[in-house]
Chains A and B, each alone.
Chain A
C-alpha cells in the first residue's frame, strides 16, 4: 500500500496531574505547588486549551513508607480527587474529569452518589478510575482494615461497579425514582438513590490494573484502560491481548480505549531534546533516590552505599517489608540481575544505572518528530491515545499544547474543536444501555 491511509485513526489525549512519584520533578525552580488549587486550575485549563479528552487524578490512601517512616524523597500529599474535580468543573467547560477512587475502601452507594454528583455538576464530564489496592497497610486508615484478600480484589471491584451501575440506572432523569435492591456475595443493599441518572447515563469507567484478572475486568466492564505499556512492542502486545478479550463480552474493539501513561521531552532539535531529557532524568533520580530505588528492588537497607560508586554484591530479600504502599516489584531477582549486568557492561555507577534503567522518557524529540511518533504509535496498534504525565507542576503541559497539538491537528489525527459536551462524546463511546432495576 503506497497511498496514505484514508481516514487516519484519531488520537485521544489525557493529562495526568504530576503526581506522588519520582517522575515529578520538584527541585526545579519552575516547580510550583502540588496542592494549591491554582496549580490544578492551570493544568486543567491548559489541557482544555489543548482540546484534551480528560484530566486525570491519581489516588493513594496511605502515604508511602520506607523502613517504617513516611517516604520523603518524592512529592508527598495531594487533595482528594472528586472534590478537586468538582471545583475544576467550575473553571472548565468541556474537559473530562477523571477521579481515581478505590473500590476496596469505598461502598457502592457512596461511590454512585459522589460520581453521579460530579457528572451532574460538570454537565456530563465525569470518569471513575476503578483501582483495587487491598493491602492491610492501607487498610489501617479504614474501619474495616485489611479485610479483603488480594485474590478477591477484582471480585469486589466487579461487583462494586455492577452495583454502582444499577444505582445509576435506578432514577431515570425526569422519571420515577425506583427502589433498588442488590443481593450479591459482596454487597446486600437496598433503598433509593438521591440523585437522578447522570447526564452521561454512566460516567466513563477507567481501569488501571495489569494482571490477567485486571485485564479481564477491563474487557468486561471498562471504557478506558490506563496502561503502563508505553513502549511500542509491549504496547502492541498489551493492546492485542486486551482487545482480544472483548468479543467474549459481546463488545467491539472500539468500545474500550487503551491509553498508556507516557512522558515526553521537547527540544528545538533532536540533540537539544536529548540533552534536556538527560537533565530531567538526573533531576528525577537524585543521589538519594538512586539508593532508594535500589532498596525498593532489593528490599534491604543500602544506605551505606555510595550512589556514585559500584553496585552492591548482596541479593534481594524477597520477603522484605521495607517498602509499603507501592506496587511490589514482581521478580526482584530478575530486576537485580538485569541492572547489575547493565552496570557491569557499561561501567555505570549506581545512580547512572538507575537513570539508564528507569529514567526513560517515552517520547523525546522536536515537536514534529514527537507528533509523528505519537501518530505512528496509534496507527500501528500500540494505543488509542495517551495519558501524558508531565514532570512539572503546573507548567509541564504548556509546551505540548502550544507546539505538539497543532501538529497533530495538521496531520489530521486530533480534533480541532470539541464536537460534543460530554466525555463519552469526546471518546466516541456509545451511550450505556439503560437497565431497569430488579424490584
Chain B
C-alpha cells in the first residue's frame, strides 16, 4: 500500500551523552539505545570531547551496535587532534559492525587546554578549525570511496583477491595535512556513513552546508528555523549539492519542570520551553511537545527534532513513551523501521563512489 504523504517524513533523534565514566557506561548506553530503538528514532548521538569526563563516544556506540538492530549510531569524533586517516577508518568500522547504521558528528577541539593534552600544535582560531574539519570530512569521503564497491573479486584463475584498478590513492592535499590512501578499510556498507554537523555556530555553517547529510540547528521560533534551513539549503546548492539531500534537525534542550535543560551555548532560549526562563513542561506534557513538533515540522521549518535531554536516563523514556507515542498516534512518525541503514531511515540514497567509472550503476 503506497500512499503519498502530504508531508515530508518526520525525523527524530536524541542525544545520550554524557555516559558513565567507568564500566557502567556499556549497560547504560545499551539501555538507552534500546529505548530509542523501541521508539523508532532515526538515530542517537553521543557527544564527546577531550575535556569532558566520559568514555570515547565511538567506542561506546560500537559496544551498543551488536545489542541493537535498527537505530542509527552517531558519535562525535573531533578532527583537530585526531589523525584524519584514523577518524575515517574508525567511522567506517562502526558502519561495518553496525551493518550500515553509522554516522559521524564532526566537531572541533577548541582551546589551549585540549591542545596541551596532545602537545603537537597550538589551538588555531575556531574558523580555521572548522575549515580543517571540512577538509577532514572531504578526505574521509574520498577514503570511503577509495575502494570501489566491487573491488573484492576473489578471482581464483588469476590468483587475485582484489581488482587493484578499483582501489585508489586519494592524494589529498589539504591546507594543513595530506593523505595518500587508499583506506585500509573496504568501502563501508552505506558508502558514506551519515555526516552530521552542528550548525549552531556560524563558523560551522559553511562546513555543514558543504559536507553534512544532517545539520543540527537551534532556533527560538519556527520562522527563525525556516530561515536557517533555507540559508543552509542555499549554501548547499552553491556547493553544487542537491539541498533535498540535506536534513535539518532542530536541537532541543529538554528537561523537566523547573529544571532548565542543557545550557545552550548560542544563548537561545529553549524554543519549546514555552512560558518562562525556568525552563518548562516540555517533557512533563508530552502531548503538548508532540503538538509543537508537528506544527514546526508540518509548517516546513525543520525536517525533525534532535532531543538533547538534561538527563537521558530520566528524560529519554518519557520522550519515547509520551511524545513519540503521541506522534505515532497521529500517524506522523514511523511505527516500525522500513529500512535497515541510517541512510534508509533518513531517506538518503547510498552514494556511488566518486572513483567509480562514470555511468556506473547510479
Bound CA span A106–B89, Å: 14
Q: Does residue B97 face the partner (Cβ distance < 8 Å to A)?
A: yes
One of A78, A105, A114, A173 near B56 (C-beta < 8 A): A114
Select the stretch in B22-30, B214-222, B281-289 that faces chain A: B22-30
| Closest chain B residue to A180, Cβ basis | B117
1/0 contact string of B155-189 vs chain A (CB within 8 Å): 01011111110010000000011111110111000
Least Cβ–Cβ distance between B223 and chain A, in angstroms: 39
Interface size class of A (residues with CB under 8 A): 35 or more
Q: Does residue B341 face the partner (Cβ distance < 8 Å to A)?
A: no
B50 touches A27 (CB 8 A): no
Least Cβ–Cβ distance between A144 and chain B, in angstroms: 8
B162 touches A61 (CB 8 A): no
Chain A residues, Cβ within 8 Å of B180: 62, 140-141
B58 touches A107 (CB 8 A): no
Bound CA span A118–B167, Å: 31
Least Cβ–Cβ distance between B76 and chain A, in angstroms: 13
1/0 contact string of B75-95 vs chain A (CB within 8 Å): 000000111111001101110
B162 touches A187 (CB 8 A): no
Bound CA span A76–B183, Å: 11
| Given the contacts A35-B96, A114-B56, A91 and B161 also touching, CB distance less than 8 Å | no
| Given the contacts A80-B185, A109-B117, A114 and B59 also touching, CB distance less than 8 Å | yes
| Closest chain B residue to A167, Cβ basis | B117
A84 touches B161 (CB 8 A): no
Q: Does residue A41 face the partner (Cβ distance < 8 Å to B)?
A: yes
A73 touches B160 (CB 8 A): yes
A289 touches B159 (CB 8 A): yes
B22 touches A37 (CB 8 A): no
Least Cβ–Cβ distance between A387 and chain B, in angstroms: 21
Select the stretch in A192-200, A331-339, A371-379 that faces chain B: A192-200
A120 touches B93 (CB 8 A): no
Chain B residues, Cβ within 8 Å of A116: 55
A177 touches B85 (CB 8 A): no
Bound CA span A37–B55, Å: 23
Bound CA span A83–B58, Å: 8
Chain B residues, Cβ within 8 Å of A312: none
Interface residues of A in 73-110 (CB under 8 A from B): 73-80, 82-84, 86-91, 105-107, 109-110
1/0 contact string of B40-79 vs chain A (CB within 8 Å): 0000000001111111101110111111000000000000
Chain B residues, Cβ within 8 Å of A189: 116-119
Q: Does residue A254 face the partner (Cβ distance < 8 Å to B)?
A: no
Interface residues of B in 110-160 (CB under 8 A from A): 113-114, 116-120, 147, 152, 154, 156, 158-160
One of A90, A109, A188, A286 near B159 (C-beta < 8 A): A286
One of A35, A87, A105, A171 near B62 (C-beta < 8 A): A87
Least Cβ–Cβ distance between A187 and chain B, in angstroms: 6
| Given the contacts A36-B96, A120-B55, A70 and B162 also touching, CB distance less than 8 Å | yes
Bound CA span A83–B52, Å: 21
Q: Does residue B350 face the partner (Cβ distance < 8 Å to A)?
A: no
| Closest chain B residue to A113, Cβ basis | B56
Least Cβ–Cβ distance between B109 and chain A, in angstroms: 11
One of A37, A106, A107 near B97 (C-beta < 8 A): A37
Q: Does residue B234 face the partner (Cβ distance < 8 Å to A)?
A: no
Least Cβ–Cβ distance between A425 and chain B, in angstroms: 15
B120 touches A107 (CB 8 A): yes
| Given the contacts A27-B154, A74-B161, A121-B26, A80 and B60 also touching, CB distance less than 8 Å | no
Chain A residues, Cβ within 8 Å of B118: 107, 109-110, 189
Chain A residues, Cβ within 8 Å of B238: none
Q: Does residue A117 face the partner (Cβ distance < 8 Å to B)?
A: yes
A87 touches B53 (CB 8 A): no
Q: Does residue B99 face the partner (Cβ distance < 8 Å to A)?
A: yes
Which 7 pairs across A and B sit closest by C-beta, in order of nearness? A288-B159, A86-B62, A140-B180, A87-B97, A83-B93, A117-B59, A79-B93
Identify the B interface with A (CB < 8 A): 21-23, 25-26, 30, 49-56, 58-60, 62-67, 81-86, 89-90, 92-94, 96-99, 113-114, 116-120, 147, 152, 154, 156, 158-164, 167, 176-182, 184-186
Beyond the given A87-B62, A142-B179, please list 12 additional residue pairs across the A-B interface where CB-CB is below 8 A.
A80-B185, A82-B90, A83-B62, A90-B65, A105-B83, A114-B59, A118-B59, A120-B23, A121-B26, A141-B180, A191-B113, A196-B22
Can you spell out 11 A-B residue pairs with CB atoms less than 8 angstroms apart?
A26-B154, A63-B182, A70-B167, A80-B89, A86-B59, A90-B67, A109-B81, A117-B55, A121-B25, A142-B85, A195-B54
